[in-house]
Amino acid sequence: MDFLEKLVIPATTSHLYLLKVMLILSLLIFIPFLGMLIGGTAFSVIFNTYGRKIKSVLFVRFAKDIIDKLAINRFVGVGLGVVPLLSITFCYAQLLYQVNVICVSLLFMATLFMIISINFIYSYQNTFQIESLVGTLTSISGIYKHEIDVKIPEDIIDYEFDLMNANSNSGLYGLIMLLISGFFFTAGTTIALYSDRYQDFQNIAQIFLSGASYVNFLFLLIISVAVTGSAILFFFFSWQGGLFNMDKEYSNFVKKIAGNIAFTGAALLPIVIFMSFFVIPNVALSGSVFMWTGFSLVSVLMLCNFIYAVIKNSDLKYISAVFYFMILSVGFIVLINQSAFATASIKNLETISIKADELEKEKKSKTVNTSGVNGEEVYTRVCAACHKFDTKLVGPPYDQTVPTYNGDVKKLASYIMNPVKKNPDYPPMPAPPIKQKEAEAVAQYLIDKVSGKK
């Protein structure tokens, strides 16, 4: 993806710092949402398929509520899914400027798959709504069946059948695309840590050989399970008062299942944190990697405790604590990865800022040249006919006259623009055909040259 390389310019030191902050913020938004979307879609599809098979209204209703609450709506999907991922891709493109490695292309493909999957997922979400509308219609027409004998019910049943198929298919496709996107994303961010082995990762086929990418993909899946469980608890019971029309049976059902999902995910987190820690290459290890790993383990421990409290005592007051500790844990995990990347990319970042400074300089000298105010050029073009530095020509030698201006460029320039009679040994100097800018440039040039600077 060479065009991405061309889009970015090397960043200066302060710009690099800003990029890192932006990258961490985007990841903090993106990872929890990605987890919620992967887990939400997966569990919704599973409960939907299974629920229809065993004809359980409870399961299907749960499937609908999950995708409603966790995927929220299309705008949120774009805002918290696509936009942060784009900005993550852009940040990596800048931080890996001119490094020959597949990471940025992988992230770019992750973004494309994300866009496709979002389309599927929200049409999956949508079919539930149409379905419940059709359901209402069927039951209404069912009530009046004996009174009016019309064909509508059959049509509706046909329609509902098609809809059910489309429904489960688009959910499944969305999930598959999302998993592909997630895999490319983890592969991209994982390979970025191997700065000593970038030459091994030049094309897509090679990423499948990266064991660390699989470990981190597993990590993402476990995060998704934990985030999803906590998010179901949070959005069903806590956020804005929770769901309203929950009867006792449904509410107990949700609490039990979501509690178990959250607990399973959270309990597995320490294992994958360790696994992912051991695949961090030496070039990326630093004290802060150890520190954030420690913090994330403590935070996950707290998380498990709060989830346990919710399950055990079915105490709803801990649900927001569960959600916040979940987000906090994800935050620490992001920081592990980013401090590792910062260490791995130190050398490259140095090269980038040096290059940026060079480019900056080049730009400056260019602006002087191109806008036509090169002092030396003005001198040879206009003044050299009558002036030399060391000998008398038509006018007096500069070595004698210029020092009397004591380095005052403005004063000399204004003389050049409007010469006045000075030395009786010479004829008057005609006003040269030049602009103010050129006069200033040539004045600067003369002063520099006479004082030996040039």
Query: Under the rule (CB under 6 A), what is the footprint of ligand HEC?
Result: 382-383, 385-387, 394-396, 401-402, 415-416, 421-423, 426-430, 432, 434, 442
Q: Could you tell me the smallest distance in angstroms from the CB atom of residue 409 to ligand HEC?
A: 12
- Specify the residue for token string 């598959």: 176
Q: Answer whether 117's CB lies under 8 Å from 181's CB.
A: yes
Task: Specify the residue, 287 or 433, whose C-beta has the smaller distance to ligand HEC.
Answer: 433
Task: Specify the residue, 325 or 398, whose C-beta has the smaller distance to ligand HEC.
Answer: 398
Q: Could you tell me the smallest distance in angstroms from the CB atom of residue 365 to ligand HEC?
A: 22
Q: Could you tell me the smallest distance in angstroms from the CB atom of residue 2 to ligand HEC?
A: 48
Q: Answer whether 330's CB lies under 8 Å from 36's CB.
A: no
State how far Cα 374 lies from the chain centre.
44
CA-wise closest residue to 197 among 259, 84, 284, 78 = 284
Q: Could you tell me the smallest distance in angstroms from the CB atom of residue 376 to ligand HEC?
A: 12
Task: Specify the residue, 166 or 382, whose C-beta has the smaller distance to ligand HEC.
Answer: 382
The secondary structure of residue 203, as a DSSP letter, is S
Q: Answer whether 396's CB lies under 8 Å from 415's CB.
A: no
Cα–Cα distance for residue pair 186/180, rounded to 1 Å:
10
Query: Distance between terminal CA atoms of the chain?
Result: 45
Task: Specify the residue, 422 or 449, whose C-beta has the smaller distance to ligand HEC.
Answer: 422
Task: Specify the residue, 98 or 380, whose C-beta has the smaller distance to ligand HEC.
Answer: 380
Q: Answer whether 417's CB lies under 8 Å from 426's CB.
A: no
Q: Could you tell me the smallest distance in angstroms from the CB atom of residue 434 to ligand HEC?
A: 6
Task: Specify the residue, 211 or 372, whose C-beta has the smaller distance to ligand HEC.
Answer: 372
Q: Could you tell me the smallest distance in angstroms from the CB atom of residue 379 to ligand HEC?
A: 7
Task: Specify the residue, 6 or 421, whose C-beta has the smaller distance to ligand HEC.
Answer: 421
Cα–Cα distance for residue pair 453/450, rounded to 1 Å:
8
Helices and strands, counts by H and E, the chain? 17, 0
CA atoms within 13 A on the CB side of 136: 5
**Residue 427: count of CB within 10 angstroms of its CB:** 11
Please tell me whether residue 314 adopts helix, strand or coil conformation: coil
Cα–Cα distance for residue pair 439/14, rounded to 1 Å:
37
Helix 103-143 × helix 83-95 angle, to 10°: 180
Task: Specify the residue, 157 or 394, whose C-beta has the smaller distance to ligand HEC.
Answer: 394
Cα–Cα distance for residue pair 268/276, rounded to 1 Å:
12
Cα–Cα distance for residue pair 454/437, rounded to 1 Å:
20
Q: Could you tell me the smallest distance in angstroms from the CB atom of residue 283 to ligand HEC?
A: 58
Cα–Cα distance for residue pair 96/92, rounded to 1 Å:
6
Cα–Cα distance for residue pair 204/192, rounded to 1 Å:
14
Q: Could you tell me the smallest distance in angstroms from the CB atom of residue 402 to ligand HEC?
A: 6
Task: Specify the residue, 241 or 430, whose C-beta has the smaller distance to ligand HEC.
Answer: 430
Task: Specify the residue, 80 or 446, whose C-beta has the smaller distance to ligand HEC.
Answer: 446
Q: Is the dihedral of CA 226, 39, 93, 327 positive or negative?
A: negative
